[in-house]
């Protein structure tokens, strides 16, 4: 490592206003659950690290960009991070506040102290030295971290997706927010609100709006799998995971859809059409998560939430739909999802694709070349991120120990030579 550092310094001139920091371990970009899990596993292996985070807190998505009523959609055993389970007194589906408290306790337990307000502007591999150079800015100050390893842990949901819809920005004069800005339906009481998007966020925002007596419509442009969160008191996801141990994926999907039909009935009469392939196969192929219903279907069936087709255009105070309907609306909530931001700062194209996800499918999406790793990009939720973290820490620690051992041997040899000369 020492020779690498010297060759890097010789290969490039550095501006006097940029601080350079050598990291004797990996640089982890992102202090969300994936970054924290990786840091904890490295700590357990005795490997030093640095975590850089653009926000001023850990898990900024959870702390700053989620609605108040949010709970984990899956049972806690599928959501806990490595080496530290949820407290026993936590409910089966922890609340947003409980999950944040858990993450803060997790960071404290493993002595993870991210360097906050450090936005990564670029990260690239220096072929001459064989090292990663990660350039950050904070309040106008530039800093460069130099490391043998780089762990990308910025997540699948780093940036909001705001679609271009005819007239929304130029003509509509009502309130427009993304779901990441939505907190509660309290401010929308009595208002006519259009929710664009029918994933888990869109369904739950619609439910919350209806509970606060907003006049709620939800745009459903394409097919969607809606499943009960539980079947006979058991997690639908947990049942699927159990069945997949013994049965092929297509058969698991068939059984889950039959059970869902028995408990939810046919949903096509309400404007919700199922995709042609099953929910687990769709998740595996595209990453599209099925909706786990926690009450929105009841509101849809009662008419408290109206399902409407795709949007044609917005005007000052209403929206025109593709079927010719015109709805008067006061506000729009864009539950249109998120995307990875990796292509905006990582100068690399072999491991990551243009959409910001690793090119290799699960379970090989965690390791690239030249010391590059990805945590939390498997589209398998917190369980996938935890598996990535364990694999990454073990892989880095094996190399780190060998390199540290060789360095000590070189220093010992040099020390003995000095003694013999003396």
The more confident residue out of 135 and 18 is: 135
> For the chain, how many structural domains are there in total?
2
Where does the pLDDT of residue 14 fall: very low under 50, low under 70, confident under 90, or very high at 90 and above?
very low
Range of the domain at 209: 160-337
Where does the pLDDT of residue 362 fall: very low under 50, low under 70, confident under 90, or very high at 90 and above?
confident
Q: Quick one: average pLDDT of 116-134?
A: 96
Residue 284 pLDDT: 81
- Both 297 and 202 in one domain: the answer is yes
Please enumerate in sequence order all residues whose Cβ is within 8 A of that of 422, keeping only pairs 6 or more positions apart, or say none.
Answer: none
Is 7 a residue whose pLDDT tops 80? no
- Both 404 and 376 in one domain: the answer is yes
Is 13 a residue whose pLDDT tops 80? no
Whether the CB-CB separation of 5 and 146 falls below 8 Å is answered with yes
- Both 169 and 99 in one domain: the answer is no
Least confident of 33-47, 178-192, 329-343, 396-410: 396-410
Is 195 a residue whose pLDDT tops 60? yes
Last residue of one domain, picked from the residues 312, 337, 362: 337
CA 136 from centroid of its chain's CA atoms = 21
Phi then psi dihedrals of residue 261, to 5 deg: -65, -40
Residue 412 pLDDT: 60
Question: 124 pairs with which residues across the strands?
Answer: 133
Q: Work out the mean pLDDT of the chain and round it to a whole number.
A: 91
Written in H, E and C, the secondary structure of 9-25 is: HHHCCCCCCEEEEEEEE
Question: 332 pairs with which residues across the strands?
Answer: 176, 194
Q: Which of the listed ranges 30-34, 245-249, 406-410 does the model predict with the highest average pLDDT?
A: 30-34
Residue 411 pLDDT: 65
Q: Quick one: average pLDDT of 369-379?
A: 95
- Both 288 and 269 in one domain: the answer is yes
Calpha distance 179→201 (Å, rounded):
7
Is 12 part of a structural domain of the chain? no
Please report, for the domain that includes residue 210, its CATH number.
3.50.50.60
Calpha distance 181→92 (Å, rounded):
27
Least confident of 32-41, 148-157, 307-316, 356-365: 356-365
Tally Cβ neighbours within 10 Å of residue 354: 9
- Both 68 and 114 in one domain: the answer is yes
pLDDT tens figures, 287-320: 788 999 999 999 999 999 999 999 999 999 999 9
Calpha distance 32→155 (Å, rounded):
8
Tokens (6 digits) for 306: 């109206």
Is 41 a residue whose pLDDT tops 50? yes
Distances (CA, A) of 85 to 38, 204, 382: 15, 27, 13
Is 422 part of a structural domain of the chain? no
For the chain, the residue count is: 422
Calpha distance 160→19 (Å, rounded):
32
Last residue of one domain, picked from the residues 285, 309, 337: 337
Report which of 25, 26, 20, 24 is spatially closest to residue 8, judged by C-alpha positions: 20
Is 389 part of a structural domain of the chain? yes
CA 421 from centroid of its chain's CA atoms = 58
- DSSP codes of every residue in 227-238: EESEETTEEHHH
Residue 18 pLDDT: 62
Residue 124 pLDDT: 97
Where does the pLDDT of residue 371 fall: very low under 50, low under 70, confident under 90, or very high at 90 and above?
very high
Where does the pLDDT of residue 12 fall: very low under 50, low under 70, confident under 90, or very high at 90 and above?
very low
Distances (CA, A) of 373 to 154, 301, 356: 12, 46, 13
- Both 166 and 152 in one domain: the answer is no
- Both 304 and 170 in one domain: the answer is yes
- Both 271 and 388 in one domain: the answer is no
- Both 138 and 58 in one domain: the answer is yes
Calpha distance 57→114 (Å, rounded):
8
pLDDT tens figures, 57-78: 999 999 999 999 999 999 999 9
How many CA atoms, within 13 angstroms, populate the side-chain half-sphere of residue 174?
A: 22
What is the reported pTM? 0.89
Preceding amide of 230 cis, omega within 30: no
Residue 379 pLDDT: 87
Tally Cβ neighbours within 10 Å of residue 289: 17
- Both 166 and 121 in one domain: the answer is no
Q: Quick one: average pLDDT of 164-191?
A: 96
Last residue of one domain, picked from the residues 292, 307, 337: 337
Calpha distance 20→142 (Å, rounded):
9
- Both 232 and 347 in one domain: the answer is no
Is 10 part of a structural domain of the chain? no
Calpha distance 163→160 (Å, rounded):
10
Distances (CA, A) of 278 to 93, 163, 252, 270, 292: 25, 27, 9, 20, 14
Torsion of CA 321, 326, 328, 329, to 10 degrees: 0
Is 329 a residue whose pLDDT tops 70? yes
Please enumerate in sequence order all residues whose Cβ is within 8 A of that of 285, keeping only pairs 6 or more positions apart, or say none.
Answer: 277
Whether the CB-CB separation of 195 and 300 falls below 8 Å is answered with no
Is 322 part of a structural domain of the chain? yes
Whether the CB-CB separation of 175 and 50 falls below 8 Å is answered with no
Whether the CB-CB separation of 239 and 290 falls below 8 Å is answered with no
- Both 307 and 347 in one domain: the answer is no
């Amino acid at each position: 490592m020492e020779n690498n550092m010297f060759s890097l310094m010789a290969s490039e001139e550095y501006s006097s206003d940029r601080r350079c920091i050598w990291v004797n371990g990996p640089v982890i970009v992102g202090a969300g659950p994936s970054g924290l899990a990786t840091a904890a596993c490295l700590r357990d292996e005795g490997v030093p690290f640095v975590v850089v985070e653009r926000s001023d807190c850990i898990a900024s998505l959870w702390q700053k960009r989620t609605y108040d009523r949010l709970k984990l959609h899956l049972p806690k055993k599928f959501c806990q991070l490595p080496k530290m389970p949820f407290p026993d007194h936590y409910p089966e589906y922890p609340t947003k506040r409980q999950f944040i408290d858990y993450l803060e306790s997790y960071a404290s337990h493993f002595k993870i102290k991210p360097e906050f307000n450090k936005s990564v502007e670029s990260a690239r591999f220096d072929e001459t030295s064989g090292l990663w150079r990660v350039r950050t800015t904070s309040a106008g100050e530039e800093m460069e971290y130099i490391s043998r390893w780089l762990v990308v842990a910025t997540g699948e949901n780093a940036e909001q997706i705001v679609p271009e819809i005819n007239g929304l920005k130029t003509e509509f004069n009502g309130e427009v927010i993304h779901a990441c800005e939505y907190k509660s339906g309290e401010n929308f009481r009595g208002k006519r609100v259009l929710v664009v998007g029918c994933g888990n966020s869109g369904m739950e925002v619609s439910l919350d709006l209806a509970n606060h007596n907003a006049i709620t419509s939800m745009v459903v442009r394409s097919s969607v799998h809606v499943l009960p969160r539980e079947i006979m008191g058991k997690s639908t996801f947990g049942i699927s995971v159990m069945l997949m141990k013994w049965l092929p994926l297509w058969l698991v999907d068939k059984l889950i859809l039959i059970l869902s039909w028995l408990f939810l009935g046919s949903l096509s009469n309400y404007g919700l059409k199922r995709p042609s392939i099953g929910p687990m196969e769709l998740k595996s192929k595209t990453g599209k998560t099925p909706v786990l219903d926690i009450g929105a279907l009841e509101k849809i069936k009662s008419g408290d939430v109206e399902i409407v087709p795709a949007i044609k255009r917005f005007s000052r105070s209403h929206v025109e739909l593709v079927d010719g309907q015109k709805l008067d609306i006061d506000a729009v909530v864009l539950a249109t999802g998120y995307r990875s931001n990796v292509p905006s700062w990582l100068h690399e194209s072999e491991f990551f694709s243009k959409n910001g996800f690793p090119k290799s499918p699960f379970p090989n999406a965690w390791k690239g070349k030249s010391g590059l790793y990805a945590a939390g990009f498997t589209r398998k939720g917190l369980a996938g991120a935890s598996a990535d973290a364990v694999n990454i820490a073990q892989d880095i620690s094996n190399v780190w120990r060998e390199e540290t051992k060789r360095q000590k041997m070189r220093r010992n040899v040099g020390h003995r030579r000095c003694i013999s000369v003396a």
